[in-house]
Structure 1
Amino acid sequence: MSQLELYQLENGYRYNSDTLFLYDFITDRIRGEILDVGCGCGILGLLVARDSSVILKGIDINPINVQISQYNASVNGITAEFITGDFSEFKSEIKFDFIISNPPFYHSNVIKSPNSHIAKSRYSNSLSLEQFLASCNRNLKPKGVLYFCYDAKQIRDILVLFDKFKLNLTKMKFVYPKINQNAKIVLIEAKKSSKSMCEILPPLVVFDKDEFSIETKEIFKKANTISKVYKC
């Protein structure tokens, strides 16, 4: 794949490996109209659009993120539309085939970053799990698909809310820092109004001793991103 140049704020929230793991989880499965929720610098949607034939739209609560995402789309020759908005209140006239997201999932009771740009991107009080899933249900087409990553410890809350919003867990993969440690995040595929069985994929272990595992290295190689500083 061609290298994706991604401009980001030097002192703001910057994408991390969670988004790259999610990209790998959904690669080759997306077509049609997609919405990237909490798009940040645009990385997730732009990676998918680089690799697949999609109509990409992104939404973020931070106006500067929308500006950067549009710039990154232009730099990489990708057609996309990015809008500023609060996803908890978003209602699109056009429903989406796919919604993709690395939403904020850190609890509000942890010590927060004093950087407002980082805080809005990380903490769930910016967009709660219930608000996120309610809006996904509202904006997906019938049989539409949701891909997102979340804190693995909150899997029970996710499943309870799936029942409430008629979303069915169809695929999941846990991500472990090391083989003898607890899972940190879970990668999830859910379908609206579906009765399909759930497929549990083999786990991803990020590190092999003190270096990235072979699978992690392959994911980074496939993503092929380079980060640059965005000058406001």
Structure 2
Amino acid sequence: MTACTPNSLLKGQLQIYQHKKGYRFSIDPLLLADHAQPRPGEHFVDLGTGCGVLALLLATQTPQIRVTAVELQSDLASLARNNVIANNLQHCIHIIEKDMRLLSQRDLGGPADGVIINPPYFKYHSGRLNPLNEKAAARHEITIDLPGWVLTARKLLKKSGRLYCIFPADRMAELLSTMANNRITPKYLRCVHSLAKNQARLILVEGRMEARHGLTVAPPLVLYKNPGEYSDEALRILWPENQLFFKSPVDSQNKNE
């Protein structure tokens, strides 16, 4: 059995186990969960759930939400199921072990209100490929690329349904054009900076299925006042105890390693 270690999130409301030597989430999914706006009673799909962190955050923060979390890798799908059980969220989170490219609305019991994804950031031949399969698939477009997951979202969303994602800022044009080509209109964009003086490294984006054009560019999210010192907004998102796990700006770029 793969060794696991626990993390406590949301002031102890969530206990999430991760593989000790596999891919370990950074603060990116916490930023994405805060960015998403599920409404009570909606059905969201978490594509590439990994250990289940996004699904668990959404289910804990939004009353009566239903989340279908999809994961291709068997070890991670099993870990996600165990995390759901450990947090007593079986009533609202369902784990599907499947290639997301093969998903249809039939697998979900109908169209989704929202799709959320923390996708691989790098193209397959870009940068150093991690020798560990979990980390490689999380960081590089090995099992699915940008056009693939945007197309998947299009197939699963209802009309006016929303797509929420986090992505590298230097691939912004590629992301927005791919969404538009799949009839998912970019509606909201926010740049994420480690420090105010630094260029944006990440973007948070919301798109709506078959919506009218009109993009809101929000004020930037700055994570640190100074190196190692979170901004007030970052503390609101991450909660103070998470400083025990994410101590430096490097941690917010975990997928870059």
TM-score by length of 1: 0.91
Q: Which residue of 2 aligns with 1:41?
A: 51
Q: Tell me how far 1:17 sits from its aligned partner.
A: 0.8
* 2:68–2:95 contact (8 Å) kept in structure 1: yes
Q: Which residue of 2 aligns with 1:134?
A: 151
Structure 2: distance between partners of 1:110 and 1:13: 17
SS in 2 for 1:77: coil
Q: Tell me how far 1:125 sits from its aligned partner.
A: 2.7
Structure 2: distance between partners of 1:10 and 1:82: 21
Q: Which residue of 2 aligns with 1:190?
A: 207
Choose the corresponding residue for 1:92, options 90, 105, 114.
105
Choose the corresponding residue for 2:96, options 83, 98, 109.
83
Cα RMSD for the two superposed structures? 2.0
Structure 1: distance between partners of 2:207 and 2:243: 27
CA deviations over 1:195-216 (Å, ceiling 9, x no partner): 1522211111112122222211
SS in 1 for 2:143: coil
Give the 5 Å matches for 1:89-168. 89-93=102-106, 94-108=110-124, 109-168=126-185
Choose the corresponding residue for 2:235, options 213, 217, 227.
217
Structure 1: distance between partners of 2:77 and 2:96: 6
Q: Tell me how far 1:107 sits from its aligned partner.
A: 2.5
Structure 2: distance between partners of 1:58 and 1:122: 19
* 1:37–1:58 contact (8 Å) kept in structure 2: yes
SS in 2 for 1:44: helix
Structure 2: distance between partners of 1:133 and 1:122: 17
CA deviations over 1:159-201 (Å, ceiling 9, x no partner): 2112210001111111011111111110011000001522211
* 1:133–1:162 contact (8 Å) kept in structure 2: yes
* 2:38–2:65 contact (8 Å) kept in structure 1: no
More RCO (CA 8 Å, sep 6+): 1
> Structure 1 segments of 4 or more deviating over 6 A?
222-227
Q: Tell me how far 1:30 sits from its aligned partner.
A: 6.0
User: Aligned in 2, Cα 1:92/1:226: closer, same or farther, shift over 3 Å?
Assistant: farther
CA deviations over 1:78-129 (Å, ceiling 9, x no partner): 1211111111232231221111110111222210111111111111232110
Structure 1: distance between partners of 2:41 and 2:176: 26
User: Aligned in 2, Cα 1:100/1:157: closer, same or farther, shift over 3 Å?
Assistant: same
Can you give the 5+ residue segments of structure 1 that lack an aligned partner in the other structure? 228-232
Tell me the matched-pair count.
227
* 2:136–2:142 contact (8 Å) kept in structure 1: no
Query: Could you tell me which amino acid in structure 2 is paired with residue 89 of structure 1?
Result: L
Q: Which residue of 1 aligns with 2:71?
A: 60
Can you give the 5+ residue segments of structure 2 that lack an aligned partner in the other structure? 1-9, 246-257
Query: Could you tell me which amino acid in structure 1 is paired with residue 119 of structure 2?
Result: P
SS in 2 for 1:106: coil
SS in 2 for 1:16: coil
User: Aligned in 2, Cα 1:223/1:18: closer, same or farther, shift over 3 Å?
Assistant: farther
Query: Could you tell me which amino acid in structure 2 is paired with residue 128 of structure 1?
Result: D
* 1:47–1:223 contact (8 Å) kept in structure 2: no
Structure 2: distance between partners of 1:186 and 1:42: 22
Structure 1: distance between partners of 2:98 and 2:235: 35
User: Aligned in 2, Cα 1:30/1:118: closer, same or farther, shift over 3 Å?
Assistant: farther
Give the 5 Å matches for 1:26-37. 26-27=36-37, 29=39, 31-37=41-47
User: Aligned in 2, Cα 1:85/1:225: closer, same or farther, shift over 3 Å?
Assistant: farther
User: Aligned in 2, Cα 1:155/1:31: closer, same or farther, shift over 3 Å?
Assistant: farther
TM-score by length of 2: 0.83
